[in-house]
Structure 1
Amino acid sequence: MAIREILEAPDPRLKVVSAPVETFDDELKTLVEDMFETMYAAHGIGLAAIQVGEPLRLLVIDLQEEDPDAEPEECDHDGTHHTHQPVINDPRVFVNPEILDPSDDLKTYQEGCLSVPDIFADVERPAQCRVRWQDLEGNQHEEEMTGMLAVCIQHEMDHLNGILFIDHLSRLKRSMALKKLEKARKAA
């Protein structure tokens, strides 16, 4: 497994429409492992293959919910002590996903993106959607998704079509977000 570089806006590769996955082999499994490692290292909850430079219709999601029944753990990071709730990992892989039947009911969530770091904005999307995808063996699955999972799958699927969440914003807000990103890059 390896942590890969995450492409950041305005990298033109993020505008590429990804190709369907046709070969379900060890190379695909390695890419998925790298994507999870990269996503976890960046503290993300979703990552599309194009974000690590692979123009394939592949994405990974892990909403990493806190376990309310678990005892808080003591952490020692950089010499400080604090407690936090352990996280339940639920890594999910979506190969060649497609949205079927998005609801007419819309919901607004504040979104961010590993390819547009430190920028957050409200985006309106269907509140639920039915999704069909394949797993790493090529088996078909279908599921009705709601809440944060529905938002995340739609956000990541946008990447497969060359769309960033800031593309859903008005021209002015998108321009402001990109200027803020550029300013942060120069400061770093």
Structure 2
Amino acid sequence: MAVLPLVTYPHPALKATCAPVSDFGPGLARLADDLYDTMKAAPGVGITAAHIGVLLRLVVLDLPEIGGRRTYVNPQVLSSSGELMSHTEGSVSMPGATETVTRPRAVKLRYQDLDGTAHEEELEGFPAICMQHEIDQLDGIFWLQRLSKLKRDRLTKKWEKARG
């Protein structure tokens, strides 16, 4: 297990659509372990392989509401609630920048585990928000794109100024 370098906004990997995972060998479990270590060091509660420049559909979350560390391979949203929820979001690839984003309060997912076994799961509240955020990233949608142009431009300028 290792802490790997994160790509930072506006790296092209953060705009790329990730490919489905097809190899469920030991390398996938190692990548998931490295993602977990990298996420904890950032620090963060969720990460995708794209955050380290690996364009595969792999998500690691670490939330008490879902029992701690969970790995989701090839996750997809099957359905989402009509009820919305606003929450402050940010990214390990844009440290220190946060803003309120509104998303569906609950989602039903289909995903695979590290062995390739398919699962379905319903998430609500903060875990649902986190998963939608990470699936957006797998689809090449960086969280800033969920903001109005005014908020996005203001936050980007503030973040670039802080980086020097």
Per the normalisation by structure 1, the TM-score is 0.84
Counterpart residue type for residue 15 of structure 1: K
Decide which of 122, 128, 133 is 1:144's aligned counterpart.
122
The sequence identity of aligned pairs, in percent, is: 45
Match among 133, 142, 161 for residue 183 of structure 1: 161
- In structure 2, what residue type is equivalent to 1:163? I
Q: For 2:132, which of 151, 154, 159 is the aligned residue?
A: 154
Query: Number of paired residues?
Result: 164
What is the CA distance between 1:178 and its match in structure 2? 1.1
Task: Select the structure that is richer in strand.
Answer: 1
Larger radius of gyration: 1
Q: Normalising by the residue count of structure 2, what TM-score does the alignment of the two structures yield?
A: 0.96
Q: CA deviation at 1:43?
A: 1.7
Runs of 4+ in 1 over 4 A off after TM superposition: none
Identify, as 1 or 2, the structure richer in helix: 2
How far off its partner does 1:40 sit?
Answer: 0.6
What runs of 5+ residues in structure 1 fail to find an aligned partner? 66-87
Structure 2 CA distance for aligned equivalents of residues 39 and 98 of structure 1: 21
1:1-188 paired onto structure 2 within 5 Å: 1-64=1-64, 90-186=68-164
User: Residues 132-185 of structure 1: CA distance to partner in whole angstroms, max 9, x if unpaired?
Assistant: 100000001111110111000000111001111111111111111111111111
Distance 1:16 1:101 in 2: 23
What SS does structure 1 have at the residue aligned with 2:81?
coil
Q: Is the 8 A contact 1:45 1:64 kept in 2?
A: no
In 1, the alpha carbon distance for the partners of 2:114 and 2:152 equals 35
Measured against aligned partners, the alpha-carbon deviations of 1:79-102 in whole angstroms (never above 9, x if no partner) come to xxxxxxxxx971000000000111
- In 2, distance between residues paired with 1:117 and 1:42? 8
CA RMSD in angstroms comes to 1.3
Distance 1:4 1:150 in 2: 26
Matched residue type, 2:61: I
